[in-house]
Amino acid sequence: MDRSLHLRERLGLVIDPELGASIVELGMVGEVEVDETGHARVQVSLTTLGCPLRAQIDRDIREAAKSIDGIESVEVVMGVLEPTAKAALMKKAREIAQRAAPLTTIPLRTPVLMIASGKGGVGKSSVTANLAVALAMTGRTIGVLDADIWGFSLTRLLGIHGDVEARGAKMIPLERNLGSGRIRLLSMGMLAPEDQALLWRGLVVQKAVAQFIQDADWSGIDYLLIDTPPGTGDIAMTLARILPQMGQILVTTPAIAAQRVAVRAADFARKSNIRVIGLVENMSGFECSCGLHHDLFGVGGGSALSGELDVPLLAQIPLDAAISEGSDAGVPFALGEPVSGVFHRLAEVILTDIAPPVGASGCSARLLDALERAVEAAN
């Protein structure tokens, strides 16, 4: 297929975080060109240029372009929609909202972060648990799905145990309050004993994961974090199909070997239309009680990888016995201050930059409401 057409098709998967619909379908994408040197130029018109979610749309467009072989560089030209185009977009957004029968109780506007890694043991589940806690401590409700089907651990890490109950035909996640926020958790481990789940393969696994999204009551959550099995896989693809707004945060260690598998995982994600939105380097150095710093797994891996994949390095988390001790006790590290600052900073980056909550930053949605009122008043 012609690369420009291919790119336009991929841009159809980029969701306006506020309007919860594809930027192509909303009529926000203008010219899309890819020249013979592999340089892509995409014109996008926003409802307002000062929109804080602009950075997210810009990043998502670049991610979509990177997934296409032969595209070497990307230029995103942002403009503003003309008033008549804004009115048309508003109409379209309403139509889409009415037409779309939601596949889940999770609105397209709710940010979904898939926490992934190229291989096991790099701290993916620890990062998921502590990030969930740090986000919840800002007063939000954080959904957590442990989809790491062959190694679920989040019930233990978060200290949330119990049997899943159903209301109507929907599973109700188990909850834990944290300050003014809370975590709502579902885990494969709540339904199947570990030795049984280990035998699950292929379609059974995909179906089980889909059920945890579609047949569960996730209403009211501000974010959903999903801990996925390491490596490449069908689970990620199943999730991406049901949750098109999903972005991936890749956890790696500073070791060279970990970087190579992380590159493969990112590559696979992009080929599966999953946006890689950030990296977290875990086990980055160790501070001993004598005050000396040791780089046990090498140094600079995360930033090198960030350059290679062209995605931001969101956090570097040191090796700290308190992280594993907290996990064993079901008291996540991020609950303690000030040592846990690193996870709170990671949460802050996500809240302010990587996947800001929709509404707080309101631009298009609020603007649309104002426009709609103006149109109604004029009629």
Question: What are the residues binding ligand ADP (CB under 6 A)?
Answer: 117, 120-126, 153, 282-283, 317, 319-320, 323-324, 327
CB of 188 to ligand ADP, least distance (A): 14
C-alpha 191: how far from its chain's center? 25
CB of 294 to ligand ADP, least distance (A): 13
Q: Which of these, 174, 142, 171, 179, lies nearest to 156 by C-alpha position?
A: 174
CB of 124 to ligand ADP, least distance (A): 3
CB of 150 to ligand ADP, least distance (A): 10
CB of 10 to ligand ADP, least distance (A): 29
CB of 287 to ligand ADP, least distance (A): 11
Q: Which CB, 120 or 330, lies closer to ligand ADP? A: 120
Q: Which CB, 313 or 363, lies closer to ligand ADP? A: 313
Q: Which CB, 19 or 251, lies closer to ligand ADP? A: 251
Q: Which CB, 130 or 361, lies closer to ligand ADP? A: 130
CB of 254 to ligand ADP, least distance (A): 11
CB of 178 to ligand ADP, least distance (A): 19
CA separation for the pair 159, 182 (Å, rounded): 13
Q: Which CB, 52 or 120, lies closer to ligand ADP? A: 120
Q: Which CB, 17 or 302, lies closer to ligand ADP? A: 302
Number of alpha carbons in the 13 Å side-chain half-sphere of residue 32: 22
Q: Which CB, 147 or 367, lies closer to ligand ADP? A: 147
Q: Which of these, 24, 4, 5, lies nearest to 14 by C-alpha position?
A: 24
| 3-class SS letters over the chain | CCHHHHHHHHHCCCEECCCCEECCCCCCEEEEEECCCCEEEEEEEECCCCCCCHHHHHHHHHHHHHCCCCCCEEEEEEEECCHHHHHHHHHHHHHHHHHCCCCCCCCCCCCEEEEEECCCCCCHHHHHHHHHHHHHCCCCEEEEEECCCCCCCHHHHHCCCCCCEEECCEEECEEEEECCEEEEEEEHHHCCCHHHHCCCCHHHHHHHHHHHHHCECCCCCCEEEEECCCCCCHHHHHHHHHCCCCEEEEEECCCHHHHHHHHHHHHHHHHCCCEEEEEEEEEEEEECCCCCEECCCCCCHHHHHHHHHCCCEEEEEEECHHHHHHHHHCCCHHHCCCCCHHHHHHHHHHHHHHCCCCCCCCCHHHHHHHHHHHHHHHC
Q: Which CB, 206 or 327, lies closer to ligand ADP? A: 327
Q: Which CB, 20 or 230, lies closer to ligand ADP? A: 230
Compute the residue count for the chain: 379
Q: Which CB, 217 or 286, lies closer to ligand ADP? A: 286
CB of 74 to ligand ADP, least distance (A): 31
Helix axes 202-214, 234-242, angle to 10 degrees: 30
At 165, the amino acid letter reads E
CB of 279 to ligand ADP, least distance (A): 14
